[in-house]
Structure 1
């Protein structure tokens, strides 16, 4: 008497494919969905925009040479420039030749020309003296301590600035009126001081030594475009500049400097034995690399020093599938494993399709083929619940086939 094989009943036990799932059950795919391609694209666009913004900001704040020629620049229309004073001098009939080369300035000077300049900070002492020696009338619009020392005009007197009048016998200063002096100077012996205070400090220094008239005043603020209209500033500027028909206005700049900085090299700052020692160490390093270095050759296959257990691989793949929340892929893997094992138990070839396995299982279990077709090759599960249901039904099918084959083999 033959015992009827058990039929496939409703899902009751959760089982998993031992190849693609964990040993005790299928790995849960409840992990959050991976970010889509659109979100990744937006992230890369944001990073690119951030980099472009940083690059533009760096270019905006790039270090550049400061424009030091803006102070009392006869071409400068800004608040610190002296274009207004230059235009007033032109209106008085003076021809102004603006130059940024000391050689051109020296070549343009003649006995009827006034040399005007601020503090020539880019020139050496000798270059300044050579330029002044070519002029018979010099107006210095900056009262630096170097020019006071170099021309022996006097010394600075701090704390004496204020409103002053001419107070001297210079005819062109008679109608200037009151000015607001920025700095005061104590004249040296033989130097006349105008616009004095009671202590003897003066805002304007003038000397006629060596048949050359040299006048010095701190005019950074007095003669600027922003303050020229105040008090008698404009009148004082014309009294200094517009006394000749021609003016050579030299504007100092670093491109016209004769100063040279002798920078010591690294070899000059280190002892003599350092360079030979560095060369010797480099040679020894290259020799050691040549001696002990490995040469690259063809790849050689070798066995791994460790063996990875199948259960660890199975669990790792299950975790990856769960993390990706890919229920369709997990269901396909479980179905593939079930079809492979059922084909072996039903004496089919390893390349048997799911339909062939379903036909053979239907004959053994005497159940409709349609239900087995749908179970082994149906639509993929789309959620965790559908995946668990599919795994349970496949496990019950394998159990039923195992029982049928075992009973048939033990039939008397």
Structure 2
């Protein structure tokens, strides 16, 4: 580094202590920002996962796989729609008066809970039928794969389907009973209806026909209104993740671990945080310490001079000479410790009336290439200091 980039005191920047404090504060700010970003991303991912879990055929979801559009159409036709997130509220709402129960797949409920829930309603519409649900509520019916991928007419005597017209079935079902079957496609039918005189149970692939993105196609909306709107109230059961009556016999991880493990983990976490704060604290300024041996200043100066001479680093040696000369000139000119090298050179040139380029060459710009040029620079620095001192305090420097 040359003197051109150096300064006396703190002219070119804050003190080392200030810079250290700023770096420490900046580090904590960065850590806080990272924590906030990670928390925000985690919350966003949790929200996305919750939306995905409730999105498919959820009556309150406006996403492409939700069913909010069908719910709004039913309400426009004067049908009251009650969204139930647990089986007890769904059963109570269905028992209050004649109602149609919209039942999706319910893997979290036992067979008895499914039968009990369906028995409370006048009509049951299975919008996501699976093998177990078909076995419990539509005996003789089973899943038969998917349709042929073409629009088909009802081709049945069911008025609800005939008024709806053609649809494009997704999953199809087969049955060995006398149930009414509509929309033949592939190896089955897109709609199976069983009516024993007291309750009607229908099975249809709502994932294909009743979701928001496909409700306006073909006769999907009409079919949904006809099947679900037979009674003045529709109870749409959309179970929450914790709505279950099943109990697992397998012990949880907390039950398998000894009771002292959780407090020990908390203690280790607290110890890790305390150790991080302890080891990560900012060190204060250096404290002077008395040396066991007194070393004369001349010895350290001579030793450093020998190192410069051995390395033949004339530029580094010139920088040290200039730094010392700048400190003394700043003191003579009364500039203070915050003055920079350029400011000191300009002040010295103005005081002497010399060319500023020549003074800057002595104090900053001229770089010695060998020992002879270094000795000449030393003499010029000494002459410059003596001249400045003579102009500032002539009575003290008079012979």
TM class by smaller structure: 0.5 to 0.7
1:169 pairs with one of 143, 157, 160 = 157
Change (3 A) 1:390 1:302: closer
State how far apart, in whole Å, the 2-side matches of 1:315 and 1:188 are.
Answer: 107
Change (3 A) 1:325 1:90: same
Residue 220 of structure 1 is matched in structure 2 by 207
Residue 181 of structure 2 is matched in structure 1 by 193
Q: Which has the larger helix fraction? A: 2
Map 1:256-275 → 2, pairs under 5 A: 256-258=243-245, 264-265=252-253, 268=256
Q: Secondary structure at the match of 1:165?
A: coil
Q: CA deviation at 1:118?
A: 2.4
Is the CA contact (8 Å cut-off) linking 2:113 and 2:245 kept in structure 1?
Answer: yes
State how far apart, in whole Å, the 2-side matches of 1:51 and 1:169 are.
Answer: 69
Is the CA contact (8 Å cut-off) linking 2:308 and 2:317 kept in structure 1?
Answer: no
Q: Secondary structure at the match of 1:115?
A: strand
Is the CA contact (8 Å cut-off) linking 2:3 and 2:322 kept in structure 1?
Answer: no
State how far apart, in whole Å, the 2-side matches of 1:51 and 1:315 are.
Answer: 47
Higher RCO, Cα 8 Å, sep 6+: 1
Larger CA Rg, structure 1 vs 2: 1
State how far apart, in whole Å, the 1-side matches of 2:199 and 2:175 are.
Answer: 17
Residue 112 of structure 1 is matched in structure 2 by 98
2:41 pairs with one of 61, 77, 81 = 61
Change (3 A) 1:30 1:71: same
Is the CA contact (8 Å cut-off) linking 1:29 and 1:326 kept in structure 2?
Answer: no
TM-score (norm 1): 0.56
User: Could you list the runs of 5+ residues in structure 1 that have no partner in the other structure?
Assistant: 1-27, 279-299, 336-353, 355-373, 397-412
Q: Secondary structure at the match of 1:138?
A: strand
Q: CA deviation at 1:196?
A: 1.8
Alignment pair present for 1:129 and 2:115: yes
Q: Secondary structure at the match of 1:132?
A: helix
Change (3 A) 1:141 1:36: farther
Change (3 A) 1:230 1:302: same
1:331 pairs with one of 320, 325, 328 = 325
Is the CA contact (8 Å cut-off) linking 1:123 and 1:259 kept in structure 2?
Answer: yes
Q: CA deviation at 1:139?
A: 0.9
Q: CA deviation at 1:334?
A: 10
TM-score (norm 2): 0.58
For the aligned residue pairs, the C-alpha RMSD in angstroms reads: 5.3
User: Could you list the runs of 5+ residues in structure 2 that have no partner in the other structure?
Assistant: 265-288, 294-298, 333-351, 353-358, 369-373, 384-399
Q: CA deviation at 1:132?
A: 1.8
Per-residue CA deviations over 1:31-52 (Å, capped at 9, x if unaligned) read: 96599538x79x9699788767
Q: CA deviation at 1:392?
A: 4.3
Alignment pair present for 1:142 and 2:128: yes
Q: CA deviation at 1:204?
A: 1.4
Is the CA contact (8 Å cut-off) linking 1:109 and 1:135 kept in structure 2?
Answer: yes
Map 1:81-100 → 2, pairs under 5 A: 81-100=66-85
Is the CA contact (8 Å cut-off) linking 1:29 and 1:323 kept in structure 2?
Answer: no
Per-residue CA deviations over 1:76-110 (Å, capped at 9, x if unaligned) read: 34433323322332333322222222211111113
Change (3 A) 1:315 1:236: farther
